[in-house]
């Protein structure tokens, strides 16, 4: 895993993000989010508000978005929380980007099911395109992160790119997805195996009764 370090505070960072405030639409949405929680528990809204702030930054930069320190401070003020508490949340969860990000954030699952199904080859395909973990390509197009399980073990290996999952990958299939994104087109999300619709089993349906019929001679011998 690449180390996660917040973008250092600087006068340039303050000049760019020091006056961060919700857009009109997000201000209404933020109040709706906070209102979900009972009195005295509004700090529980920290995660959705960080996500909302990250998306607002992303809308300005045409990326997935990230959380500059002044934006984290803004969320802390919104919830009357110590800034450190909000920073702890932002740095713990990889769903939050704490440094500038490329147009497309390629998150490769490297957990055991994906590894057994070829995630090393997927990572190698990313590196062949000039990506390296924890960095953005010079053209600003792709950022690469290795992450833990994202729950698509039945269709491993997989990557998440911004908000979309791409599953049943091979290096060639990944290259196609990345080429489509770079060209401004939206490739099909989900499984990239033409034989699958979602994550149904590959091959004909099976059940335990069929397995017994096929493998057992009914005299107790296999």
- pLDDT over 90 at 139, yes or no: yes
Question: What pLDDT is attached to residue 218?
Answer: 47
Indicate yes or no: pTM above 0.75.
Answer: yes
Please state, for a pLDDT cut of 70, what percent of the chain lies above it: 92
Q: pLDDT of 141-180, one tens digit each?
A: 999 999 999 999 999 999 999 999 999 999 999 999 999 9
How many CB atoms sit inside 10 A of residue 37's CB?
A: 13
Tokens standing for residue 117: 């199904």
The mean pLDDT value for 125-151 works out to 94
Q: In what order do the strands lie in the sheet with 104-109?
A: 142-147, 104-109, 159-161, 164-167, 190-191
- CA gap 66, 57 in Å, rounded: 6
Instruction: Output the CA torsion 22→28→32→38 (10° steps).
Output: 70
Q: CA–CA separation, 117 vs 127, rounded Å?
A: 18
DSSP, res 37: S
Is a pLDDT exceeding 70 seen at residue 86?
A: yes
- With 50 as the cut, is the pLDDT of residue 123 above it? yes
pLDDT at 216: 55
Q: Of 146, 94, 160, 92, which is closest to residue 115 (Cα–Cα)?
A: 146
Distance, CA of 142 to CA of 81 (rounded, Å): 33
User: Rounded mean pLDDT of 189-214?
Assistant: 80
Is it the case that residue 113 has pLDDT exceeding 70? Answer: yes
Task: Calculate the alpha carbon distances from 22 to 12, 78, 81 in Å.
Answer: 20, 10, 18
Amino acid 1: pLDDT = 44
Give residue for tokens 């619709």.
197
> What token pair was written down for 174?
């990944």
Cα–Cα distance, 109 to 14 (Å, whole number):
34
Q: What share of the chain has pLDDT > 90, as a percent?
A: 83
What pLDDT score was predicted for residue 5?
Answer: 84
List C-alpha distances in Å: 1 to 13, 59, 126, 132, 203: 26, 27, 15, 11, 35
pLDDT reported for residue 203: 74
């Amino acid at each position: 895993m690449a180390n996660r370090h917040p973008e250092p505070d600087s006068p340039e960072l303050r000049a760019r993000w020091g006056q961060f405030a919700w857009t009109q639409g997000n201000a209404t949405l933020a109040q709706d989010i906070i209102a979900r929680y009972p009195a005295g528990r509004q700090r529980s809204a920290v995660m959705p508000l960080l996500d909302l702030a990250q998306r607002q930054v992303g809308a300005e930069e045409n990326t997935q978005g990230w959380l500059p320190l002044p934006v984290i401070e803004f969320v802390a003020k919104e919830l009357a929380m110590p800034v450190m508490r909000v920073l702890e949340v932002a740095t713990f969860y990889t769903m939050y980007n704490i440094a500038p990000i490329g147009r497309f954030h390629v998150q490769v699952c490297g957990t055991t099911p994906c590894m057994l199904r070829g995630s090393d080859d997927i990572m190698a395909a990313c590196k062949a395109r000039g990506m390296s973990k924890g960095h953005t390509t010079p053209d600003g197009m792709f950022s690469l992160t290795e992450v833990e399980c994202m729950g698509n073990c039945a269709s491993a290996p997989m990557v998440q790119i911004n908000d979309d999952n791409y599953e049943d990958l091979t290096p060639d299939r990944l290259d196609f997805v990345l080429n489509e994104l770079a060209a401004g087109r939206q490739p099909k999300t989900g499984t990239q195996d033409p034989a699958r619709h979602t994550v149904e089993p590959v091959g004909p349906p099976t059940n335990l009764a069929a397995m017994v019929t096929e493998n057992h001679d009914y005299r107790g011998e296999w």
